[in-house]
Structure 1
Amino acid sequence: MRPPSPSIPEKEFLYASLKDTLRLDGRSLLEQRKPELRFGPELGYVECSLGKTRVIAQTDAKMIKPPPERPFEGMISIHSEISPMASSEYEAGRASDEEVTVTRMLDKVLRRSDAIDKESLCILAGQRVWHLRLTLHFLSDAGNMLDCACLAGIVALRHFRRPEVEVVGDEVIIHPPSERAPVPLAIHHTPFCFTFAFFPDAEISPVLDPSQLEQRLSAGLVSIALNAQREICVLQKLGGVPLLNEEILRLVKASVEKAKELHEFVENRLTEDWMSRTVEVR
């Protein structure tokens, strides 16, 4: 059963509120919901929340033989599935349009942007490399699953540690964590995604991090993926609403400031988690 479409009064009330620069959850137009990160007992497991939107990301690694055309690079694959657990709008075993859009965007942001140094995943050229697998489970859809999934994915990769390996001749020795400390991934930069919703009424300004109702009543979405160093990785526009160059630049500028804040938040949470694990080991 698909959820009922927003009624005409709901639509009119939302539009009237946005014209007065008011949002139903009390946020300003360019205010993001407060992110929350919870780490699992194993490294590479992260549960991320943006309001009531929740996504779990998990990273694991295994050794494989690289393809002949890329003998010096490891591999990264991203798997995501939006099940009926997230919302009754989704069907098990059938990829929705939103799931396809989210998966493609995550691939661009996390894999194609070269956030991770693939050459550092090489163990023995042409023989053994690390294959990283990032799996995302969508627990709840309260709007803007893309930004939540992107944050969960990059934090899971930052949180993950691969086993230390030693190469003796043609033999590869994997050392368990009890013998040698696991090694963090070599990450060049940390991209974050920020999605803005546009509406058909020109009097309504775009809103950052749209709720489910705002997203369903929007006429288009713009997603900007960038890092705290002001480097734009991906800029994606969905929908037919025409946008001026000045409007895009304004959104990019707002995203830059949000990226700095989010980067500091992520660094603090990773440090807190690592310190707590260090204390437990001692």
Structure 2
Amino acid sequence: MAEILLSEAEKTFILHGVEEGFRCDGRMRLDYRPMEVETDVVSHASGSARLRLANTDILVGVKTEIDTPYPERPREGKIEFFVDCSANATPAFEGRGGEELGTEISNSLATAYQSSQTFDLTALCILPGQQCWKLYIDILILECGGNLFDAVSLAVKAALHNTRVPKVKGACLDGGTVDLQLSDDPYDCCRLDVSDAPCLVTLCKIGDHCVVDPTAEEETCSSGSVVIAITEKSLVTSVFKTGVGSFHPQTLIDILKVGQTIGLSVNKALRAALLEEEQQGRKKECFGFLK
């Protein structure tokens, strides 16, 4: 993460506040900052979304392409994540400063989505072993205000919810090659089921306590964080740690329980915001949630 320079007095102030259960912006330890989400913001993408979490601003675009399935998974489609950290997001991303963080985020998403109980890749299969849909998910970090893992995962889920996959009207074999006939109607498409797509929840350790949705300043004061990928059905698909600090086994167990509860709330809040946006008739508004 991009660290912010803080004096020892500022770090002590943040640490003591977390110990007392209060944070600099008035939140409690397990409170998120308000978020806003907007979908269908990139006209030439199959699906897109923009999510703002306080000062963190994420843009996600999804592109569909026909590809050949993996030999070991002949009945599944493919999904790939690419993260680009804009140099305007923070000075730490200038040059190649954001490459390592971008790789870490894309790998965490790939791990979270690899379970067959999360995102159904079989729905992307066209002809088993021969043709499938491949989803390219491009993530652009426009501004970094802390808690990138959570914000990116929420933006990805919103973009997948907005994605339309063209329908295949027919497929035939012509001399050993596959000839696909796609619908000419741009509105003749399929929606993706994202009900089991996971969201990432970061629990950041500051002193002897953990907080959710850390700001950039709080991340600077942290010795380590645990990131949990969780679905709407309370299924944990991956857990990993960032930072150099360590966690006591019992503390880790307690964190997982808290993360499950928080993850359920975040998933439900995002789904409610996306449904509200659709019901409003696509008026190009940002819909806030977790206020």
Tell me the TM-score normalised to structure 2 length.
0.85
Give per-residue Cα distances to partners, 1:227-255, cap 9 Å, x unaligned.
12121111112234332333223322322
**In structure 2, distance between residues paired with 1:210 and 1:189:** 25
Contact kept, 8 Å, 1:124 with 1:167, in 2: the verdict is no
Structure 1 portions without partners, runs of 5+: none
In structure 1, the partner of 2:60 is 57
Give per-residue Cα distances to partners, 1:109-133, cap 9 Å, x unaligned.
2345652222221112233210111
- Structure 1: which 4+ aligned runs deviate by more than 6 Å? none
AA aligned opposite 1:157: L
SS of residue in 2 equivalent to 1:169: strand
AA aligned opposite 1:174: L
Cα distance, 1:189 vs. partner? 0.8
Given the superposition, is the C-alpha separation of residues 270 and 4 from structure 1 closer, same or farther in structure 2, using an over 3 Å criterion? closer
* Identity among equivalent pairs (%): 23
**In structure 2, distance between residues paired with 1:10 and 1:272:** 40
**In structure 1, distance between residues paired with 2:5 and 2:194:** 42
Larger RCO of the pair (alpha carbons < 8 Å, separation 6+): 2
**In structure 2, distance between residues paired with 1:141 and 1:95:** 11
SS of residue in 1 equivalent to 2:91: coil
**In structure 2, distance between residues paired with 1:256 and 1:231:** 8
Cα distance, 1:29 vs. partner? 0.8
1:191 maps to 2:191: no
**In structure 2, distance between residues paired with 1:140 and 1:58:** 16
**In structure 1, distance between residues paired with 2:183 and 2:141:** 33
Cα distance, 1:4 vs. partner? 6.0
Given the superposition, is the C-alpha separation of residues 94 and 177 from structure 1 closer, same or farther in structure 2, using an over 3 Å criterion? farther
**In structure 1, distance between residues paired with 2:232 and 2:171:** 40
Give per-residue Cα distances to partners, 1:49-68, cap 9 Å, x unaligned.
21111111111101123344
Structure 2 portions without partners, runs of 5+: 174-178, 285-291
1:223 maps to 2:202: no
Contact kept, 8 Å, 1:225 with 1:233, in 2: the verdict is yes
Tell me the TM-score normalised to structure 1 length.
0.87
In structure 2, the partner of 1:107 is 110
1:176 maps to 2:198: no
Cα distance, 1:258 vs. partner? 2.2
Contact kept, 8 Å, 1:83 with 1:92, in 2: the verdict is no
**In structure 2, distance between residues paired with 1:114 and 1:141:** 31
In structure 2, the partner of 1:25 is 25
AA aligned opposite 1:230: S
Per mean C-alpha deviation after superposition, the further-off stretch among 83-92 and 256-265 is 256-265
Contact kept, 8 Å, 2:66 with 2:133, in 1: the verdict is yes
Contact kept, 8 Å, 1:113 with 1:233, in 2: the verdict is no
In structure 2, the partner of 1:161 is 164
**In structure 2, distance between residues paired with 1:71 and 1:39:** 32
147, 152, 166: which one aligns with 2:150 = 147
**In structure 2, distance between residues paired with 1:50 and 1:95:** 19
Aligned residues: 275
**In structure 2, distance between residues paired with 1:255 and 1:74:** 30
1:46 maps to 2:49: yes
Contact kept, 8 Å, 2:48 with 2:59, in 1: the verdict is yes
In structure 1, the partner of 2:176 is none
In structure 2, the partner of 1:206 is 210
Contact kept, 8 Å, 1:3 with 1:88, in 2: the verdict is no
Contact kept, 8 Å, 2:118 with 2:231, in 1: the verdict is no
AA aligned opposite 1:173: Q
**In structure 2, distance between residues paired with 1:4 and 1:264:** 32
SS of residue in 2 equivalent to 1:89: helix
Contact kept, 8 Å, 1:116 with 1:185, in 2: the verdict is no
Contact kept, 8 Å, 1:110 with 1:154, in 2: the verdict is no
Given the superposition, is the C-alpha separation of residues 243 and 70 from structure 1 closer, same or farther in structure 2, using an over 3 Å criterion? closer
Per mean C-alpha deviation after superposition, the further-off stretch among 210-219 and 248-257 is 248-257
**In structure 2, distance between residues paired with 1:186 and 1:3:** 37
Cα distance, 1:79 vs. partner? 0.5
The 5 A counterparts of 1:254-269 are: 254-269=258-273
